Amino acid sequence: MSEAYPPNQPHPPQQPHRPNEPYPQSSTNPYAATPPAPHSFPASAPGTAPGMAGPGAFAAYGQRAGAYLADTAIALGLGLVPLVLGTFAAGVASSDRSANIVGSTGALLMYVVVFGFSLWNLVFRQGRTGQSIGKKALGIAVVGERTGQPLGPGTAFVRWFVMWLIGALSCGLGTVVNFLFPLWDPKKQTLHDKAASSIVVRRPAA
């Protein structure tokens, strides 16, 4: 036990602290402040996006393929509605000229519907939330490689446009290579993922 300080005796003056110098530490004072340990983040598990664990793991190839097929099926299903209606109307048209006009209008509306739905689903919806309808159903999401957050409609449009451009410039061959790319890429990215600095991760429904 330490001795009490003598009564009626002044305490020795404390030395003023100089800037840029550490505060003195006393090994005998149990109440002396100790500097906090530096913060460290846990290491990511194998197959996990940087800074993420568990739900942030890279999406499996089957999940990505399933989401793509689901989105494509919905778009084509909606596009078939005006095409079928146009074909039916052309069949009952009073003249060949009218039939051609109605049939062409139905085909044009099919492309408009498919394009419009894909633009909303893969750019605006996916850009804001990270998930298209198909990706939400399969429990995956598109996020920024560095931020881990949804891309935003602008970057999502770049990602979507590059995907279309690869297929258009290669007569479809590039599309095959592009969609197979995650099978050997370390980050499970397609070429349009790399263009937009995006990754696809697991995100189970809440």
pLDDT tens column, 68-105:
999 999 999 999 998 888 888 777 666 777 777 777 88
- Furthest-apart CA atoms within the chain: distance in Å: 119
Encoded amino acid at 162, one letter: V
31 is a domain residue: no
Name the burial class of residue 38, with classes exposed (0-12), middle (13-18) and buried (19+) by CB atoms within 10 angstroms of its CB: exposed
Whether the CB-CB separation of 61 and 183 falls below 8 Å is answered with: yes
Letter string b/e over residues 46-64, b meaning 16 or more CB atoms within 10 A of that residue's CB: eebbeebeeebbbbbeebb
What is the mean predicted confidence (pLDDT) over 58-71?
96
3 is a domain residue: no
127 is a domain residue: yes
72 is a domain residue: yes
39 is a domain residue: no
d(CA 92, CA 88): 7
The parent domain of residue 191 ranges over 54-202
10 is a domain residue: no
98 is a domain residue: yes
174 pLDDT band, cuts 50/70/90, is: very high
Count the domains in the chain: 1
* The predicted structure's pLDDT at residue 29: 54
pTM above 0.85, yes or no: no
Whether the CB-CB separation of 89 and 119 falls below 8 Å is answered with: no
What is the mean predicted confidence (pLDDT) over 179-204?
94
CA atoms within 13 A of residue 134's CA, in its CB half-sphere: 21
CA atoms within 13 A of residue 15's CA, in its CB half-sphere: 7
95 is a domain residue: yes
